[in-house]
């Protein structure tokens, strides 16, 4: 349930009203203050709430029942877009395109430093790279693990690019202390114990969509993180399983405008895992911009043919440079068109 507060209600009146609600009905009240309006989002069992009593309160403009099971992630609870700001100043969801680029896996110091510098020169705003890898086969390269994290930190030091890397278990959270954005991969989207733990920390979480998950399930996973108090969630569409085999997954681009309608969280697109083919990354990146994405995550490798993971979908630094140019040019045109 959301309660829209009348204009000109004082802070004290609002505090008293919220305390009454919490005490009377044992619900948690989430407050969103916008320009000229205030919305209270009620979380908990709202079925017992006496709507006549609420409507009769001086401060109340109107009430609305929220049907969706996700509350904190719901745009009805937070009408304006969430902008996530890193302590180092980078923003996601502020209208600029954020581009996270780098290899699927961190492989060596030379590799990560080289790729980091190249993607930075092409306009990437974050360095991605897997240290702990969720591989389908236990015999495939599993990542450099802690050493991979150290190499990412080294590349951050050299280039200044903040780092994004995947976590696979809650007991590693301390090890990820100085990672700038923690990625939850598709295979862990419904690892609820991990999500709960990530809800207790104050760090942006990049939540990838599960291989076969609906948008509602994806938003419920965001809700798990937010319910714990961490509202810094970035969603990433990375393709879903369908009957189609021509591409690794099927890129569900309509998820971008759907999410924008249902939620206030930023959403980015990963055309690399979505298609599995480097030749398709450029067009799907452009399409993601046109769909209204806040950013892209693109795999870039110094030598894709010899990559230890996901070489077939990785761009060379030169290819990435060309894609980034086109993407930024399209974004300019997109902003002009949308401003008309
Ligand atoms: C990755 O980003 O390298 C990765 C494993 O992605 P996903 O979880 O989307 O498969
Ligand atoms: Mn990968």
Beta bridge partners of 269: 237, 296
Instruction: Delimit the domains of the chain by residue range.
Output: 2-64, 84-339
Q: What is the CATH number of domain 2-64?
A: 3.30.70.1140
Closest residue by Cα to atom 6, ligand 1, is 185
Residue 35 has what pLDDT?
A: 83
Q: Which residue has the tokens 């581009």?
A: 99
pLDDT category of residue 155 using cuts at 50, 70 and 90: very high
Please give the Cα distance from 323 to 304 (Å, whole number). Answer: 16
Q: What are 296's two structure tokens? A: 């892209």
Q: Which of 238, 267, 310, 312 to mutate to test the pocket of ligand 1 (most atoms within 8 A of CB)?
A: 238
pLDDT category of residue 326 using cuts at 50, 70 and 90: very high
Residues measured by CB to lie within 5 Å of ligand 2, the ion:
104, 310
**32: number of Cβ within 10 Å:** 16
Give pLDDT tens digits for 159-211: 999 999 999 999 999 999 999 999 999 999 999 999 999 999 999 999 999 99
Closest residue by Cα to atom 3, ligand 1, is 104
φ, ψ (nearest 5 deg) of residue 241: -75, 130
Least Cα distance to 227 among 253, 195, 256, 263 occurs for: 195
Please give the Cα distance from 73 to 94 (Å, whole number). Answer: 17
pTM: 0.96
CATH architecture of 84-339: Alpha-Beta Barrel (3.20)
Looking at the CA of residue 297, tell me the nearest atom of ligand 1.
2
Three-state secondary-structure class, residue 304? helix
Distant-in-sequence, close-in-space partners of 285: CB < 8 Å, separation ≥ 6: 269, 271, 296, 298, 323, 326, 327
Distant-in-sequence, close-in-space partners of 64: CB < 8 Å, separation ≥ 6: 1, 2, 4, 76
Residue 36 has what pLDDT?
A: 81
Handedness of CA 58, 62, 68, 71 (dihedral sign): negative
Give pLDDT tens digits for 64-102: 999 999 999 999 999 999 999 999 999 999 999 999 999
Q: What are 164's two structure tokens? A: 């994004």
Please give the Cα distance from 226 to 222 (Å, whole number). Answer: 6
Q: Which of 166, 207, 307 to mutate to test the pocket of ligand 1 (most atoms within 8 A of CB)?
A: 166
pLDDT category of residue 34 using cuts at 50, 70 and 90: confident
pLDDT category of residue 248 using cuts at 50, 70 and 90: very high
Residue 37 has what pLDDT?
A: 87
Please give the Cα distance from 262 to 23 (Å, whole number). Answer: 30
Beta bridge partners of 59: none
């Amino acid at each position: 349930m959301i309660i829209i507060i009348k204009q000109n209600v004082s802070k004290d009146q609002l505090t008293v009203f919220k305390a009454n609600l919490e005490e009377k009905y044992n619900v948690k009240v989430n407050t969103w203050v916008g320009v000229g309006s205030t919305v209270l989002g009620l979380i908990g069992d709202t079925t017992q709430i006496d709507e006549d009593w609420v409507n009769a309160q001086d401060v109340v403009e109107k009430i609305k029942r929220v049907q969706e099971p996700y509350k904190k992630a719901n745009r009805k609870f937070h009408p304006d877009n969430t902008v996530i700001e890193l302590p180092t100043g980078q923003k996601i969801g502020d209208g600029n395109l954020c581009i996270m680029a780098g290899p699927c896996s961190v492989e060596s110091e030379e590799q990560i430093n080289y790729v980091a510098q190249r993607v930075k020169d092409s306009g990437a705003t974050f360095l991605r790279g897997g240290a702990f890898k969720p591989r389908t086969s236990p015999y495939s390269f599993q990542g450099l693990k802690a050493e991979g994290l150290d190499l990412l930190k080294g590349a951050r030091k050299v280039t200044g690019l903040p780092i994004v890397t995947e976590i696979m278990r809650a007991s590693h959270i301390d090890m990820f202390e100085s990672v700038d954005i923690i990625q939850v991969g598709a295979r862990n989207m419904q690892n609820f114990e991990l999500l709960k733990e990530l809800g207790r920390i104050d760090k942006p979480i990049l939540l990838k969509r599960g291989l076969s998950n609906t948008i509602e399930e994806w938003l419920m996973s965001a809700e798990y993180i937010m319910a714990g108090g961490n509202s810094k969630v970035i969603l990433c569409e990375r393709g879903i399983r369908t009957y189609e085999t021509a591409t690794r997954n099927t890129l569900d681009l309509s998820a971008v405008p759907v999410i924008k309608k249902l939620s206030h969280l930023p959403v980015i697109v990963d055309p690399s895992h979505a298609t599995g083919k480097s030749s398709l990354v450029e067009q799907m990146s452009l399409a993601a911009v046109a769909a209204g994405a806040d950013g892209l995550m693109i795999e870039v490798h110094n030598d894709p043919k010899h990559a230890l993971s996901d070489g077939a979908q990785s761009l060379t630094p030169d290819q990435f440079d060309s894609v980034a140019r086109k993407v930024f040019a399209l974004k300019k045109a997109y902003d002009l068109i949308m401003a008309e």
